[in-house]
């Protein structure tokens, strides 16, 4: 017996440091862990990405063609677009409890369901159970009720405690299923935007508007930004949420987002639109929004995707349809059905490079300088990647 205990104790003592040792490196460094696979994907990404990840490579090729194609011809004086400043408390967290104010029909339905029905139901049930517990504890305590009842069946009570939960579940299921039906049966889309998650930024393609692409990076704080590069101001949005290029969509239009990823799983989430969709490599997920109110709305990547997961925010600017057409024009895109004033820009010319990209042509670090064979052939519209030059300098190799 004692021998057995001794052995167990010995084993325990022996294992403790082992266990501790095993945990020490793994525990405090989830970042390293996350970064490790990232680094491995980044290192061979050069040759690989050429084929698999079209947006990572053509930095060298497209950058040059993009700039030279646009600068002289297509857009003589690239019209500037006045981006709106966000409204504090709208489309962003502001410290209040509860859900953000919703700006889509589905979001309004869902938040009303949550606030007015689920919360009320939860509160009522919790209070009822608490009251029953208190009543039992006080009324049937030993001092007041020394001989307990031997009753083992009571048909009325049993019917009630079976029926009431069933009714509660039905009362939750009906509006819940109705909400899911609304969420997953979108009306025909007026505009489709392809959303692509990348470590660690988002790119957005507009296949309906000539297939141009924008690349959206988080804006750094003034103190963190390299000298001469753009940094965040309050007009851009809150810290860690403001981006250099916003996803712009028209108000009142049904916008379909096709969501995918270039590397690992990300998640495209916009709390004020009640939208969260995983971005999986090799898979197209779909979600939709219809936002009535122009404004700027912020979200974040919502699937742990590596070391800089916290720094790939999403900013959507909802504008009037007229301003949307203006914005598309500034990106070198076209509106469907519109006859372009200039000769129809080929797909490379359409990939206009923003001034920011020209001023700060950050080399896509880690990417091979070899121009991919696909860069020459205009691939599927939207596979041209002008904005890659826009990528923030903090690319995987820095980590
Ligand atoms: Cu992420």
Which of 352, 324, 350 is closest to 249 using CA atoms?
324
The rounded Å distance from CA 212 to ligand 1 centre is: 24
Position 61 scores a pLDDT of: 35
pTM: 0.63
The rounded Å distance from CA 285 to ligand 1 centre is: 16
> Could you give the CA distance from residue 129 to residue 131 in angstroms, rounded to a whole number?
5
Position 84 scores a pLDDT of: 87
pLDDT tens for each residue of 131-179: 999 999 999 999 988 888 888 899 999 999 999 999 999 999 999 999 9
Helices (H), the chain: 2-26, 30-42, 45-52, 59-69, 105-112, 119-139, 155-184, 321-330, 347-350, 355-359, 373-376
Three-state DSSP class for residue 305: coil
Tally of CB atoms within 10 A around 395: 22
The rounded Å distance from CA 306 to ligand 1 centre is: 7
**Residue 291 · residue 321 · CB < 8 Å:** no
Which of 56, 333, 290 is closest to 191 using CA atoms?
290
The rounded Å distance from CA 175 to ligand 1 centre is: 31
Exposed e or buried b per residue across 295-334, where buried means at least 16 C-beta atoms within 10 angstroms of its C-beta: bbbbbbbbbebbbbbebbbbbbbbbeeebbbbbbbebbbb
The rounded Å distance from CA 277 to ligand 1 centre is: 12
Q: Which CATH architecture has domain 61-86+189-393?
A: Sandwich (2.60)
pLDDT tens for each residue of 53-105: 333 333 333 333 333 333 444 444 556 788 888 888 889 988 888 899 999 99
**Cα 331 to chain center, whole Å?**
23
Position 77 scores a pLDDT of: 52
Tally of CB atoms within 10 A around 70: 23
Which of 183, 213, 197 is closest to 331 using CA atoms?
213
Give the DSSP per-residue string, 71-123: IIII-TT-----PPPPPTTSSS--S-SSPPPP-SHHHHHHHHIIIIIIHHHHH
The rounded Å distance from CA 148 to ligand 1 centre is: 58
The rounded Å distance from CA 248 to ligand 1 centre is: 21
Position 251 scores a pLDDT of: 95
Helices (H), 140-252: 155-184
> Could you give the CA distance from residue 4 to residue 2 in angstroms, rounded to a whole number?
5
The one-digit pLDDT tens for each residue of the chain (399 residues) are 444 444 444 444 444 433 334 333 334 333 434 343 433 333 333 333 333 333 333 333 333 333 333 344 444 455 678 888 888 888 998 888 889 999 999 999 999 999 999 999 999 999 999 999 999 999 999 998 888 888 889 999 999 999 999 999 999 999 999 999 999 999 999 999 999 999 999 999 999 999 999 999 999 998 888 888 889 888 898 999 999 999 999 999 999 999 999 999 999 999 999 999 999 999 999 999 999 999 999 999 999 999 999 999 999 999 999 999 999 999 988 888 765 554 444 444 444 444 444 444 444 444 444 444 443 444 444 344 444 444 444 444 433
The rounded Å distance from CA 339 to ligand 1 centre is: 39
Q: How many residues does the chain have?
A: 399
Position 79 scores a pLDDT of: 61
The rounded Å distance from CA 127 to ligand 1 centre is: 39
The rounded Å distance from CA 323 to ligand 1 centre is: 30
> Could you give the CA distance from residue 340 to residue 301 in angstroms, rounded to a whole number?
36
The rounded Å distance from CA 30 to ligand 1 centre is: 14
The rounded Å distance from CA 289 to ligand 1 centre is: 21
The rounded Å distance from CA 349 to ligand 1 centre is: 31
Q: Where are the domains of the chain?
A: 61-86+189-393, 105-143+157-184
């Amino acid at each position: 017996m004692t021998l057995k205990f001794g052995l167990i104790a010995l084993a325990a003592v022996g294992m403790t440091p082992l266990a501790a040792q095993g945990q020490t490196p793994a525990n405090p460094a989830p970042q390293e862990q996350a970064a490790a696979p990232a680094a491995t994907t980044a290192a061979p990404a050069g040759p690989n990405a050429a084929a698999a990840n079209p947006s990572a490579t053509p930095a060298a090729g497209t950058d040059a063609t993009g700039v030279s194609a646009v600068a002289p011809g297509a857009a003589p004086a690239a019209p500037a677009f006045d981006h709106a400043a966000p409204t504090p408390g709208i489309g962003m967290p502001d410290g209040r409890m509860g859900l953000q104010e919703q700006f889509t029909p589905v979001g309004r339905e869902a938040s009303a369901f949550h606030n007015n029905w689920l919360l009320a139901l939860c509160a009522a049930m919790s209070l009822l159970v608490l009251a029953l517990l208190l009543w039992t504890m006080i009324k049937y305590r030993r001092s007041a009720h020394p001989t307990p009842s031997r009753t083992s069946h009571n048909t009325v009570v049993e019917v009630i405690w079976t029926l009431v939960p069933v009714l509660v579940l039905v009362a939750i299921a009906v509006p819940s299923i109705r909400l899911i039906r609304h969420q997953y049966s979108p009306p025909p889309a007026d505009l489709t935007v392809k959303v692509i998650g990348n470590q660690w930024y988002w790119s957005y393609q507009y296949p309906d508007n000539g297939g141009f692409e924008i690349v959206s990076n988080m804006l750094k704080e003034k103190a963190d930004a390299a000298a001469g590069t753009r940094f965040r101001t309050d007009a851009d949005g809150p810290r860690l949420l403001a981006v250099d290029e916003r996803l712009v969509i028209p108000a009142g239009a049904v916008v379909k987002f096709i969501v995918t990823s270039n590397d690992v799983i990300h998640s495209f989430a916009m709390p004020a639109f009640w939208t969260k969709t995983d971005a999986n490599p090799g898979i197209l997920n779909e979600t939709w929004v219809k936002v009535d109110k122009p404004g700027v709305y912020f979200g974040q990547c919502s699937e742990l995707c590596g070391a800089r997961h916290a720094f790939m925010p999403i900013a959507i600017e909802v504008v009037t349809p007229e301003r949307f057409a203006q914005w598309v024009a500034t990106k070198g895109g076209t509106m469907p059905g519109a006859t372009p004033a200039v000769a129809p820009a080929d797909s490379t010319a359409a990939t206009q490079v923003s001034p920011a990209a020209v001023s700060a042509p950050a080399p896509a670090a880690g990417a091979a300088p070899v121009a991919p064979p696909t860069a020459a052939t205009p691939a599927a519209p939207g596979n041209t990647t002008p904005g890659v030059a826009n990528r923030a300098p903090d690319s995987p190799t820095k980590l």
